Structure 1
Amino acid sequence: MANITAAMVKDLREKTGAGMMDCKNALGETDGDIEAAVDWLRKKGLAKAAKKAGRVAAEGLVAVEVRDNVAGMVEVNSETDFVARNEQFQGFVSEAAKILIGTDGTVDGLSAAAYPGGPGTVAEKLSELIATIGENMTLRRTAKVTVKQGVVASYMHNAVAEGLGKIGVLVAMESTGSNKDELVTLGRQIAMHVAAVNPAAVDASGIDPTTVERESAILREKNAGKPDHVLQKIVESGLKSYYKEVTLLEQSFVHDPSKSVGQVLKEAESKVGGPVAIGGFVRYALGEGIEKEETDFAAEVAAQAGKA
């Protein structure tokens, strides 16, 4: 039995683009022969799947799974919306969110977790789907939210099935109150607000200091030439207005714009039976931040005509 080194696995990954565990298994099956391992991966459809890895995957689905005080959310991307409607793909994404709850909440942790009905891991199941369906797919990001006392509320926008859709939100609703049903209802409303308004943080303390400094610099530049004491007040006032726009607790509640989210939480305490606080939230909008390749079909046709 050949000694399979990390360098050998790395070399095979670079040749085929297949997953690390797939490469390790291939080398084990071929006694460390790199070329034979390449063929082994190709026969399994894994190298073929790897060839698709360069294609942009910006479609897909977001999935959420909630179990009282813990919840998981995953985003799995595909190349086309057609695949997102595939039952096998939907089943995989939904199962991934369930598995995530039992892991450390990271992409690596989920990828390495056993997939039900295996044998194999979540990463290996994804590679199998890529080979079967014929599109590049990526397990892009994961989030795990927990509360010690209270509930984790969720909301899925543009849902295509239970817990599956295009925009997913998890909100940690912390409370010692005994009325959990009221807390769940309130939490869902807050989650809907987050989906619609997309706040940057729960409160001002969660805003990146660099962002705060940039906003301050803009206010100073707009009011250059004014006395320092006046300028300071302008900056303070401007930042307060900024926080009302971007922080969850300061924003006008979408279900009742006459109140801030913070006011709504305070008023809900009597119904919930105790103090209510938001420990944090996570919002995933499918494909956000991924640069989609823009193609000009007419230009492509003209270019090909010119080559003919």
Structure 2
Amino acid sequence: MANFNIADLKALREQLGTGMSDTKNALVEAEGDVEKATEILRLKGAKGNAKRADRSTSEGLVATLQSDAGVTIIELACETDFVAKNDKFIALSEKVVAAVSAAGASTLEEALAAPVDGTTVAQAIDDQAATIGEKVELRRVALVTGDQFAVYLHRTSKDLPPQIGVVVAYTGSDAETARGVAQHIAMFAPQYLTRDDVPTDAVDKERDIVTEISRGEGKPEAALPKIVEGRLTAFFKQVALLEQDYARDNKQQVGRILEAAGLTVTDFVRFKVGA
């Protein structure tokens, strides 16, 4: 009979974030020796990392950290919400965002190569994945630079860490309005700052689509240019921040709100876990 009790099982599982069955089996194999059981779980997890490579990671969190260089934002993904809210996973995200920020990394490749605790971010994530028993990956990284910053982290569920993160770089002094715009971005997910930022090929594709739709509806050929431009305006309101109706006052566009507040948005990034 293995020398451990339910309290040992629970404590080890919470410490490592491992599954009930795996944790129990490790304790049995280690004859109740918690340190040995931890080693067994880590070795088993390391062997399982390759097998988990093709699994999907639709859960996780978004984390940010501001430094002299700007604001670093990351998306750290995992397989289940159980792991996403685990203290070990959250601690890993804090370690990763700190390392990425310290390295000034602005790409995923740079972030994974960033040093942390005598190894790299990539290896630290692999080590934690081996312990947790789930696929864990750093999916996205961005470094937002600018004068001032508004950061908004949104929890889609009260028992989970933030799963939507927004960083807005701006000039001006109205921090309250800047935060309101960050919240707007979290809700309405614009892809570009202005309509001029939308790639030409995307605009051309949309123009072709709405032209065909309009023709299919039997609109007069002579009226098509005006109808198409109207529908393109609606498209820009979907994808360009300054064109969108403001979440807190849908009678005004975000661009007008910013102008009235004396603010200029110079950049923004929005991450949503799994999106």
TM-score norm. by structure 1 comes to 0.68
In the TM superposition, what is the alpha-carbon distance from 1:69 to its structure 2 partner?
6.4
1:172 to 165, 169, 173: 169
Corresponding position of 2:30: none
Aligned to 1:133: 132
Compute the displacement of 1:227 (Å).
Answer: 4.2
**Correspondence for 2:255 among 262, 265, 279:** 262
Residue equivalent to 1:121? 120
Report the Cα offset of residue 121 of structure 1.
1.2
- What is the one-letter code of the residue matched to 2:162? G
1:1-308 alignment runs, 5 A limit: 46-67=46-67, 70-101=70-101, 102-115=103-116, 118-147=117-146, 150-158=147-155, 164-173=161-170, 175=171, 177=172, 179=173, 182=174, 184-224=175-215, 226-228=220-222, 230-269=223-262, 276-288=263-275
Partner Cα separation in structure 1 for residue 213 and residue 157 of structure 2? 47
Q: Percent identity?
A: 34
1:186–1:128: structure 2 CA closer, same or farther, 3 Å change rule?
Answer: same
Report the Cα distance in structure 1 between the residues aligned to 2:132 and 2:44, rounded to whole angstroms: 14
Give the 3 Å change call, closer, same or farther, for CA 89–135 of structure 1 in structure 2: same
Distance 2:234 2:77 in 1: 37
Alignment length (residue pairs): 228
Could you tell me which runs of 5 or more consecutive residues in structure 1 were left unpaired when the two chains were aligned.
Answer: 1-41, 270-275, 289-308
Moved over 4 A (4+): 42-45
Q: 1:124 to 1:160 in 2, by over 3 A?
A: farther
Return the letter of the residue paired with 1:220. T
Offset, 1:159: 7.4
Checking the alignment, whether the CA contact within 8 Å between 1:68 and 1:151 is kept in structure 2 is no
Return the offset for 1:48: 3.3
SS of the residue 2:190 aligns to: coil
The Cα RMSD (Å) is: 2.3
Hey, what's the Cα distance between the residues in 2 that align with 1:124 and 1:45? 13
Does structure 1 retain, via aligned residues, the 8 Å contact 2:192–2:241? Answer: yes
Deviating more after overlay: 79-88 vs 100-109: 100-109
1:70 to partner: Cα distance: 0.8
Cα 1:90–1:237 shift into 2, 3 Å? same
1:232 CA displacement = 2.0
Distance in 2 separating the partners of 1:185 and 1:170: 14
Q: CA deviation at 1:238?
A: 2.2
